[in-house]
Structure 1
Amino acid sequence: MTKKPTMSDIAVACGVSQATVSLVLNNAPGTRISSATRDAVMTKAAEIGYTTVHRRPDRRPVIAMIINDVTSSPHVAGLIDGVTESANERGLLVSVMPTGGDSDAEQAVLDHLAAMPIAGVIYARLITQQINIPPGLLNVPTVLLNCYTGDRSIPSVVPGDLVAGQTSALLLIKAGHRRVGYIGGEDTIEAARERIKGYRRALMMHDIALDPAIVFKGGWTIRGGYDAFKSIMMVPDPPTAICCFSDRTAMGVYAAAAELGLKIPEDISVVGFDNETYTADMVPPLTTMELPHSEMGRYAAEHLADLLASPRKTSRNFQVKIECELIERQSVKVLDRSGLLPVA
């Protein structure tokens, strides 16, 4: 009995991946596949007698987005929206598979995917972190979203937290503040480590000495921001401005400032981080940094689509950092702009 031709046969003969063959034969819109590759696939399909019996003309290749958490933060919506919007533009469908941070659930997802015709995977984390890639993904086209491997062996995209920390501090320095305090997160959080590095770099750029007395770690909650600000303002020469690890930290600063009889921004300027939905309604509206979750998701899907379209293309794996956007509102007072270097 003659063996029925398969997409794998076409892929081997043309030197491309099965995913590429699927994209061509399904005429998926928005994919970057060269005309030469398309012609080669179609020619080989006709040559070996491959048919698409019972195949729906609108069927699209599916990619899986595995993410550890979809409930604890509104930021996850940006990651998912970015992935799905970009994938749809490239003619790909997305199956979002949350694992709840449970290793057994993740293994069940990987076992399920192994039995399915998945074109590729976006492996995501809600909080930026270094990971060990699951062995089940080593032979599957994969892009890491908001996480990365230590050896950078898998393409990844993360936020530019260091530059964002620098930008928020430079905004205050540009406004004339020379005593800029910092309330950061715990050292166990990578974003906290990166943002305080940026804060320190901004001080160095303007020859401002780092004063540990106005730097507080572990204040990523509302209560943490409240307690940290109370402590910082007890020093003999208190700051005129504060960089906060998160908008929740900034909320704590607002509450503590009110108790101390300080007005924002007249007496103390504040910059937050995250651009939570409530920050525009704070009194005064909070200046903050916005994490680029949607842009990161779009990049991950675009890069995965490129990997599927050109599987034989050789390129080094790398990590891309997406810049965070500064959202300027009314919580920063300009003291003096004279004699300062331009903000980079």
Structure 2
Amino acid sequence: MARVSGRVTIAQIARAARAAQSTVSCVLNGKFKESGASAERIAQIQAIARRLNYRPSAAARAMRTGRCDAIGLVLSTRPGRISPFLDLWLGLMDDLHARGLSLTVARLPDDELTDDAALPRLMREWAVDGLLIDYVADAPPHFIDLLRDQHIPTVWLNHRQDFDAAFPDDHHGARLATEHLIALGHRRIAWHSDNAGPHYSHGERLAGYTVAMTAAGLTPRAHLGDHWASPAERLPVARRLLKSDDRPTAVLCYGAQDALPLYVAALERGWRVPRDLSLITFHREPFGTHGIDLTTAIIPAAAMGRAAVDLLLAKLAEAGQAQTAMALPYTLHAGATCAPPLATVVRS
């Protein structure tokens, strides 16, 4: 049987199968019982549809169901305002694919996001049922108002709020890492971040560390930068931190960009990690480089993508009802940069 040129219709399949269009429609939409056809007849119709290269019409399905079976992902164009996690995108895309849903992605500047007419036009042109928003800090207030006032189903990624959001529980991650160091016997544990960024994780990680230290009766030691430090600035800062008379025996770092200079500064002083200094960092996967296997609080990036899809689909199924946000817990990769402290710290 030759394939039909152009888009194949149910009417063409019905003629080829010598069956009623209603029967073919039921079969191709999985309504086998309603079709009234035998198993053999169903298999025959499906085989003919495959030979003719039949593809369901997305427009027709949308008209019939009121759903486009597609999701839009909006990214900010501002530096430092989107999530830097490959695993987030993979988790999100894999979950949508498994559900038979498509994804449309665009990076949009603030002037478009705050245009009263732009969002409804975007929803029409994209033909999507709802939006995932990756704008992790300082989103324009008018953009947020437009999403709410125009009743656009929305879930935020990597953005801490009470409803319609999926984000890592950074408070939990910092507590988990700090409690690990305390359990090893450390008492002089420092928090170190050379970066002053707008993302909620900066405050939440510091808060989680502080809670764990206070609960153990220990004094928090926060070393915070007041700007986004350049690579050239980080090593001198690390040297000063380790040179103090009451220097820490362990340091919890905001990111690998903070931990690696401390590792180098420790080596410069003739120390060994973790014998003389324990280090923990945060990263989307166990962080390793040049043979260094850092103990890592694992950011649940892939789980965040899957959770965002779950929330958005639940919101769509419940006519736009706000969904309680999902704070994703951390896990800890043991790595090779944590050990009990020396009984006596040699000061040099």
In the superposition, the TM-score normalised over structure 1's length comes to 0.70
- 1: CA distance between counterparts of 2:292 and 2:92? 34
Distance in structure 2 (CA, Å) of the matches to 1:174 and 1:221: 34
Give how far 1:79 is off. Answer: 2.3
Q: Higher relative CO (CA 8 A, sep ≥ 6), structure 1 or 2?
A: 1
1:241 aligns with 2:253: no
Listed as ranges, the matches of 1:289-304 within 5 Å are 289-304=297-312
Secondary structure in structure 1 of the residue aligned to 2:240: helix
Preserved CA contact (<8 Å) 1:290 1:327: yes
Is this contact kept in 2: 1:128–1:158, CA < 8 A?
no
Aligned residues of 1:220 and 1:248 also touching (Cα < 8 A): no
How far 1:131 sits from its partner (Å)? Answer: 6.2
Other-structure match for 2:208: 198
Q: Distance in 2 between matches of 1:142 and 1:85?
A: 19
2:147 maps to: 137
Q: How many residues align?
A: 277
Cα contact 2:83–2:134 (8 A) shared by 1 = no
Match runs of 1:131-210 below 5 Å? 132=141, 133-138=143-148, 139-148=151-160, 152=162, 154-184=163-193, 185-186=195-196, 188-210=198-220
Identity of paired residues, percent? 21
Change (3 A) 1:335 1:27: farther
The normalised TM-score by structure 2 is: 0.69
Secondary structure of the 2:74 match is strand
Report the CA distance between 1:188 and its aligned residue. 4.1
Structure 1 residues 178 and 223: CA distance shift in structure 2, 3 A: farther
Tell me which moved more, 218-227 or 171-180: 218-227
1:285 aligns with 2:297: no
Aligned to 2:14: none
C-alpha deviation, 1:220, in angstroms: 6.4
- Aligned counterparts of 1:206 and 1:259: Cα–Cα separation in 2: 32
RMSD across aligned positions (CA): 3.3
Amino acid at match of 1:200: T
1:205 and 1:115 map into 2 onto residues whose CA distance is 52
CA distance in structure 2 between the aligned counterparts of 1:224 and 1:177, rounded to whole angstroms: 28
Unaligned ranges ≥5, structure 2: 1-27, 31-55, 63-67, 343-348
CA distance in 2 between counterparts of 1:55 and 1:275 reads 39
> What SS does structure 2 have at the residue aligned with 1:243?
strand
**Separation (CA, whole Å) in 2 of partners of 1:256 and 1:280:** 18
Q: Distance in 1 between matches of 2:314 and 2:132?
A: 13
Match of 1:37 in 2: none
Contact 1:163/1:198, CA 8 A, preserved across alignment:
yes
Larger radius of gyration: 2
Asked whether the 8 Å contact 2:296–2:332 carries over to 1, the reply is yes
**1:67 maps onto 2:75 in alignment:** yes
Q: How does 1:1-344 map to 2 (within 5 A)?
A: 55=57, 61-68=69-76, 75-99=84-108, 102-106=109-113, 110=119, 112-116=121-125, 117-125=127-135, 127=136, 132=141, 133-138=143-148, 139-148=151-160, 152=162, 154-184=163-193, 185-186=195-196, 188-211=198-221, 215-218=223-226, 222-275=231-284, 279-311=287-319, 317-335=323-341
In structure 2, the CA distance between the partners of 1:211 and 1:168, relative to structure 1 (3 Å rule), is same
SS of equivalent to 1:75: coil
